[in-house]
Amino acid sequence: MKLLIPLFLIITFYVNAQKLDRKQMYNYNDDVEFRIYAKQKSRTTDRNNVNLIAEKGSRFFTIVFDFKNNSSEAQTIDFETIFIKDSNSNLHKVDLVVMSMKMTTTIKKFEQKLKANKKRKIIAQFIPPMSKEEVITTLVINVKEIELQYY
3 state SS of 149: coil
Residues 114 and 77: beta-carbon distance below 8 Å = yes
Kindly report the pTM of this predicted structure.
0.81
Contacts of 26 (CB under 8 A, 6+ apart): 33, 34, 35, 139, 146
* Average pLDDT of span 36-65: 90
In a domain, 71, yes or no: yes
- At residue 50 the predicted structure's pLDDT band, cuts being 50, 70 and 90, is confident
* Average pLDDT of span 105-131: 85
In a domain, 11, yes or no: no
At residue 105, the pLDDT reads: 47
What is the per-residue pLDDT across 14-29, written as a single tens digit (0 to 9) for each?
A: 444 457 778 899 999 9
In a domain, 29, yes or no: yes
- At residue 103 the predicted structure's pLDDT band, cuts being 50, 70 and 90, is low
Residues 75 and 69: beta-carbon distance below 8 Å = yes
Domain count, the chain: 1
At residue 7, the pLDDT reads: 44
In a domain, 115, yes or no: yes
Residues 32 and 67: beta-carbon distance below 8 Å = yes
Burial environment of residue 3 by CB neighbours within 10 A (0 to 12, 13 to 18, 19 or more)? exposed
Residues 29 and 75: beta-carbon distance below 8 Å = yes
At residue 12, the pLDDT reads: 46
As a whole number of angstroms, the distance between CA 66 and CA 26 comes to: 10
* Average pLDDT of span 71-88: 94
**What is the chain's Cα-based Rg?**
17
3 state SS of 9: helix
pLDDT at 9 over 60: no
In a domain, 90, yes or no: yes
CATH assignment of the domain containing 37: 2.60.40.1240
In a domain, 4, yes or no: no
| Average pLDDT in the chain | 84
In a domain, 43, yes or no: yes
In a domain, 37, yes or no: yes
Name the region of 137 (left: φ>0; alpha: ψ -120 to 50; beta: rest).
alpha
pLDDT at 150 over 70: yes
Lowest mean pLDDT among 3-12, 33-42, 68-77: 3-12
Write out the residue range of the structural domain in which residue 75 sits: 21-147
